[in-house]
Every structure is written in structure tokens, then in C-alpha cells.
Amino acid sequence: MRVAMISEHASPLAALGGVDAGGQNTHVAALAAELAGQGHEVRVYTRRDDPGTPERVTVRGFEVVHVPAGPPSVLPKDDLLPHMGAFAEWMAADWRATGLPDVAHAHFWMSGLAAVTASRACGVPVVQTYHALGTVKRRHQGAADTSPAHRTAYERQLGRVVDRVIVQCRDEEHELASMGVPRERTSLVPSGVDATRFRPDGPAAPRGERPRILTVGRLVERKGYAELIRALASVPDAELVIAGGPARDRLMADPYARRLHELARAAGVSGRVRLTGAIAPAEMPRWYRSADVLAAAPWYEPFGLTPLEAMACGVPVVATAVGGLTDTVVDRVTGELVPPRDPGALAAALRRLLGDDVRRISYGAAALDRARSVYGWPAIAARIADVYASVARVREAVA
């Protein structure tokens, strides 16, 4: 099939090129590469945010198209909405010039708006993956949420007009149903993990004698690093490695990184907390392999790739029971689930695991098995391609 993917703010090149990348970049890059490997023709449309970038770049068998919409500079995601009309118009013209795709798969709600607008002009079916929902963000972040007004209304409307919504976990399915998106419009296909890169064997990052708790992600409050630092005070001897955030040499310019250092001092654990700054994606497997346990303590998490990546490296996970983590982590089988924002519960689970080799090893083995058997990219991408084929068939039948 000919597939157009739209990922307005999250370029797959960020995940492949070793610069700052989050979950959506990783997901789009891996899905596009896997679909290309399975014989599909894949083009990913992302906003041009650097004047020096070529319009088209081919990487790992798929093409990345940089769409001129808005200034060619990095803009905050929450400022992109006004440029989605220009994005859609340019993309529709490109589709007409280069051949219409069989399906457009939009990642994040603003990509959905661009995809639906372009598809109206050209009659291309649209599949939507939200990656995150405004209702959930607002619930947890309140006034700190800087999303454009009406995000939730757009998301609800998108759910009703696109040909299919791919949800990534059961929690998202319930959330959409309560927003009024009919369940029969949704298909549940989780994100995947590259089990050829994330695997137990291979080099590990250096470490000392202390048991290592690793946590990975962008340095934002909702990822629960403060709770982990507080928990560490009740987990004797262990070290907490926080991987992610700005590049190492810019780390201490980050106010949140400074706050975490301060918190560690106040909790009496500063000698046992280490912030690494951004780790290049290619280096991530080494860090997971160096850990005794992966901790993921977000207040909320739409899907959460890092626990899955750790599991694929045979590392057990202690996670908060939120969002996608309640699907990936099987409590007391591949790790342990604890309530969010509860340092005491985190500490108890971490102590239990670090103090019990048999439990840790058996969770790690089950985690590896689950990551490989349920979340490997070849199978996940094939399920997504099935969704594409079904919407393309329906369109053909009504045309």
C-alpha cells in the first residue's frame, strides 16, 4: 500500500538521528521503517523547522517530507495550530502531484486536522492515532496546560469523522468512549518495541556496586522524578539514574533539573541520584541493560515506551498504574504496579524487588517474553497495515 503518515511536530529523523526525541518520534520512525520493510511505500509528512533541511529525505526505506508551514524554525507544539491549514494545503498538492496515498495515518490531533482537511480535497481515508488526549492532560495539569483552546472539541470531532481511530491502550479506549467517540470506530493496537535493538545481550553502561534504579524520559514534572527521589530515601544503598532531558552540557541550565538536584539534597540522597541528560537513542539499550530495575512513575502516561524498552532488555519494571502502563506491565508477573504520586508505595516495591533476586530475575524473564511475544514491531506493524487495508477497502466499496 501507499501510506502517508502525518506527524506535524515529531519528526522520525529526530529518533533516527540521535537528537532529542520523545515517544511519538520513536513510534513514527519504527512504524514507518517496519512498514517499508514489509513492502509498503511510506512517506512521513512533518513540519519543516530548519531552513537548511532538504524537502525530502529517504531513510531506512521510507521518505520524510518537510512541509513548509509556518516559519522554518522550532516552534512550541502548542503554537502550531494556526499553521495546520497551510500544512494541509501543501500536502494535498503534493499528493496530487506525486500520486494519492491509499491511506493517511495521522499522529497527534493537529496532524489529524491536517489529514482530514487534505483528505476532503482528495478522497483519501484517514486513520488517527492520538498519542495523548487533551482531556487527560487538562485533568492532571489544570492551569499549567498550555494546549490550544478547544483541543478536546477538535479531538472529539476527529474521532467522529476519521475512518478509524487506532488506540494504544485500554485506558485510552475508555477515555475516548466517555468523550463520545463510538467504540466501534476504534481499533486497539499498542505501540511496539524494536526487539532487535532492545535485547538483554550486548554491552551495558558502566556502573558501580550499588543496585541501580533507572528511570528514563523527558525532564517534565509529570514523569514523577520527584516522587522517585523521595522514594529513594527509603531504599537503602540503591542509586537512581535519571536519563533524559536537555544535553548534558545544558542540563544545569534547566530549572527543573536544578530543582531535582535540590530535592535530592533535601532528601539526603544527593550522592545516590545522577542525572545523565539526553542519551542518544542508539545508546539507550546499554543503559537499560545496566539497570536492576526500571522505574516509571508518571502521574499519567498515554502509552509509555520506556518500560517496554526495558522489558525487551529483560529488566523488570516498577510503574505507576496509569494509562498504557497498566497494559504493558503485568502486576506481580513482569514487574509491579503502584498508585501514582505515592513515594511510599514506590519505595516498598523497589525494596521488595532489589532485596529479592529470585523475584527480580523471574519478573525480568517474564518481561522479556511479554515484550517479544506481544509487542515486536513486525507483528504490530502488520496489525496496523490490516487497519489501513480495511479502511481503504471500505472507501473503495462506497466510491
Which residues contact ligand UDP by CB under 6 A? 21-24, 26, 216-218, 243-244, 278-279, 281, 284, 303-306, 309
Pick 241 or 392: Cβ nearer ligand UDP: 241
Please report how close the Cβ of residue 322 comes to ligand UDP at its closest, in angstroms: 12
Surface-to-core class of residue 23, CB atoms within 10 Å of its CB (0-12 exposed, 13-18 middle, 19+ buried): buried
Pick 138 or 351: Cβ nearer ligand UDP: 138
Q: Is 310 helix (H, G, I), strand (E, B) or coil?
A: helix
Q: How far apart are CA 154 and CA 146, in angstroms?
A: 15
What radius of gyration do the chain's Cα atoms show? 21
Pick 119 or 320: Cβ nearer ligand UDP: 320
Pick 94 or 172: Cβ nearer ligand UDP: 172
For 317, phi then psi, to 5°, come to -125, 135
Please report how close the Cβ of residue 227 comes to ligand UDP at its closest, in angstroms: 16
Please report how close the Cβ of residue 217 comes to ligand UDP at its closest, in angstroms: 5
Pick 5 or 92: Cβ nearer ligand UDP: 5
Strands (E), 90-211: 103-107, 126-129, 164-167, 186-188
Pick 84 or 297: Cβ nearer ligand UDP: 297
Please report how close the Cβ of residue 60 comes to ligand UDP at its closest, in angstroms: 16
Pick 89 or 173: Cβ nearer ligand UDP: 173
Helix (H) or strand (E) holding 376: none
Cα angle: 48, vertex 113, 176; to 5 degrees:
125
Q: Which three cell numbers stand for residue 229?
A: 527521589
Please report how close the Cβ of residue 168 comes to ligand UDP at its closest, in angstroms: 10
> To 10 degrees, what angle do helices 305-312 and 23-37 make?
60
Pick 6 or 118: Cβ nearer ligand UDP: 6
Surface-to-core class of residue 18, CB atoms within 10 Å of its CB (0-12 exposed, 13-18 middle, 19+ buried): middle
Please report how close the Cβ of residue 269 comes to ligand UDP at its closest, in angstroms: 22
Please report how close the Cβ of residue 96 comes to ligand UDP at its closest, in angstroms: 33
Q: Which of 208, 272, 235 is nearest to 355 (CA)?
A: 235
Strands, sheet with 103-107, edge to edge from the N-terminal-most edge strand: 56-59, 62-67, 41-47, 2-6, 103-107, 126-129, 164-167, 186-188
Q: How far apart are CA 2 and CA 292, in angstroms?
A: 43
Please report how close the Cβ of residue 308 comes to ligand UDP at its closest, in angstroms: 8
Please report how close the Cβ of residue 343 comes to ligand UDP at its closest, in angstroms: 21
Pick 207 or 218: Cβ nearer ligand UDP: 218
Q: Which of 393, 246, 254, 367 is nearest to 308 (CA)?
A: 367
User: Checking phi first, is residue 302 left (phi over 0); if not, alpha (psi -120 to 50) or beta?
Assistant: alpha
Q: How far apart are CA 390 and CA 387, in angstroms?
A: 5
Cell 529523523 maps to which residue? Answer: 13
Pick 2 or 372: Cβ nearer ligand UDP: 372
| Total length of the chain | 399
Residue with the closest Cβ to ligand UDP? 23
Strands (E), 171-287: 186-188, 212-216, 239-243, 273-277
